[in-house]
């Protein structure tokens, strides 16, 4: 097996441009797969992080009748805030309409404590001003409604008794968030002002928990943990990963097809060399193993496209270690044990390359006499002649 590994390295180096092209194609596939996977994982992690910081907090207590996907439940989904729970951030949700530049836009009006620290919303801008109701809106909604900081717009709502009322609100701040569920079609104002406007004093639609909050046992409130709230995002992420895996398979298929074609063509071009190996006593399994090792080496070299090729002095330091494992893998009678040993061999090969490439000298595995001189293997010297007649 030690001989097969050395011959495989020499044949790969002798292939010249073909080896470079195969390694470049395979390396490109690896880089693209890792890059896409990293980008997708980063997007997914950022989506969950932003949703927690801007909307969900560390869990929510929702009114038992409130359904965020059913706007008809908003008017009746409110209840008194539990006493002696200052750790909870109350949010009161109400329906309303605004009239920017004479246009009517239906919006969701949300009241929140101006001094809260649980969510990243800039609620400090909601402090009361004389004869005005300060509000904050998201960047998306500001773009669609054509509102800017300092603008005043007419707001109409219906109070708890069903009476319509209207007043002017003042845009005190515009925040930029990646979470559309706290931005699109929503206006945030001080909950004290909303209590005064609607008559729903000391009531809320949902309560946001902070990191020290404990769930509340109540018949009016349903507790949703952070994991339950993120379940929708997790399902979207799982769906995206399935579609991404199709791209990974296509990239790997292209790279493997290039290596497969190279190995098949190499067999036809090296028939004399194969015949010489058989004449010297190599069995069919050993010849197949030689080409298998060559194909595997492309994958290993593709992991280090910009590193130096190890010198001949470094080959013996790890070829001797993995040759025994590889021999056991091909001679083991149990197929499961054989597969495990093959995987272990590939792992040891990659690990040894990583360690040796970091300390390798500038001399590559170039000359056959260098390889023969360092090995001292008589079988290798016997194959020097036939190898020279090959046409890599």
> pTM for this structure?
0.65
Q: Distance between CA atoms of 363 and 358, rounded to whole angstroms?
A: 14
Residue 336 in this model has a pLDDT that exceeds 50: no
The total of other beta-carbon atoms located within 10 Å of residue 346's CB is 17
Q: Distance between CA atoms of 138 and 188, rounded to whole angstroms?
A: 9
The total of other beta-carbon atoms located within 10 Å of residue 347's CB is 12
The string of pLDDT tens digits covering residues 307-327 is 444 444 554 554 555 555 555
- Give the three-state DSSP class for 195: helix
Mean pLDDT of the chain: 78
Minimal CA–CA distance to 88: which of 64, 50, 60?
60
Q: Distance between CA atoms of 357 and 374, rounded to whole angstroms?
A: 18
The string of pLDDT tens digits covering residues 114-132 is 999 999 999 999 986 666 7
Q: Distance between CA atoms of 221 and 89, rounded to whole angstroms?
A: 14
Phi, psi for 222 (deg, rounded to 5): -105, 130
The string of pLDDT tens digits covering residues 350-360 is 444 444 444 44
- The arithmetic mean of pLDDT across residues 68-79, rounded, is 92
Pair type for strands 133-138 and 79-80: unpaired
pLDDT at 7: 75
| DSSP character at residue 184 | T
| DSSP character at residue 360 | -
Could you tell me what percent of the chain has a pLDDT over 90? 41
The string of pLDDT tens digits covering residues 97-108 is 999 988 999 999
Residue 202 in this model has a pLDDT that exceeds 90: yes
pLDDT at 108: 96
Give me Rg for the CA atoms of the chain.
35
């Amino acid at each position: 097996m030690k001989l097969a590994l050395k011959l495989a390295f020499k044949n790969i180096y002798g292939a010249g441009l073909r080896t470079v092209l195969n390694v470049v194609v395979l390396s490109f596939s690896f880089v693209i797969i890792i890059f896409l996977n990293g980008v997708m994982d980063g997007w997914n992690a950022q989506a969950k992080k932003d949703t927690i910081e801007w909307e969900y907090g560390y869990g929510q207590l929702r009114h038992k009748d409130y359904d965020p996907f059913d706007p008809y439940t908003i008017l009746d989904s409110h209840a008194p805030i539990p006493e002696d729970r200052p750790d909870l951030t109350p949010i009161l949700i109400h329906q309303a309409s605004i009239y920017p530049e004479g246009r009517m836009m239906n919006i969701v009006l949300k009241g929140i404590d101006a001094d809260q620290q649980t969510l990243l919303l800039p609620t400090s801008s909601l402090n009361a001003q004389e004869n005005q109701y300060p509000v904050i809106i998201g960047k998306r909604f500001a773009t669609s409604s054509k509102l800017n900081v300092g603008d005043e717009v007419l707001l109409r709502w219906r109070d708890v008794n069903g009476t319509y009322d209207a007043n002017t609100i003042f845009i005190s701040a515009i925040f930029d968030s990646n979470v559309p569920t706290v931005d699109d079609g929503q206006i945030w104002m001080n909950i004290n002002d909303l209590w005064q406007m609607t008559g729903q004093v000391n009531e809320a639609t949902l309560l946001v928990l902070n990191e020290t909050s404990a769930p509340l046992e109540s018949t009016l409130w349903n507790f949703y943990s952070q994991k339950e709230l993120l379940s929708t995002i997790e399902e979207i992420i799982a769906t995206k990963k399935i579609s991404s895996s199709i791209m990974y398979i296509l990239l790997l298929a292209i790279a493997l097809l290039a290596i497969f074609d190279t190995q098949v063509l190499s067999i036809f071009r090296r028939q004399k060399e194969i015949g010489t190996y058989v004449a010297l006593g190599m069995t069919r399994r050993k010849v197949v193993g030689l080409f298998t090792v060559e194909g595997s080496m492309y994958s290993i070299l593709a992991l280090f496209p910009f590193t130096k090729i190890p010198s001949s002095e470094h080959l013996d330091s790890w070829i001797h270690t993995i040759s025994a494992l590889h021999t056991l893998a091909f001679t083991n009678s149990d197929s499961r044990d054989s597969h495990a040993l093959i995987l272990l061999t590939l792992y040891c090969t990659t690990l040894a390359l990583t360690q040796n490439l970091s300390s390798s000298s500038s001399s590559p595995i170039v000359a056959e006499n260098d390889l023969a001189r360092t090995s001292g293997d008589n079988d290798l010297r016997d194959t020097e002649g036939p190898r020279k007649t090959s046409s890599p």
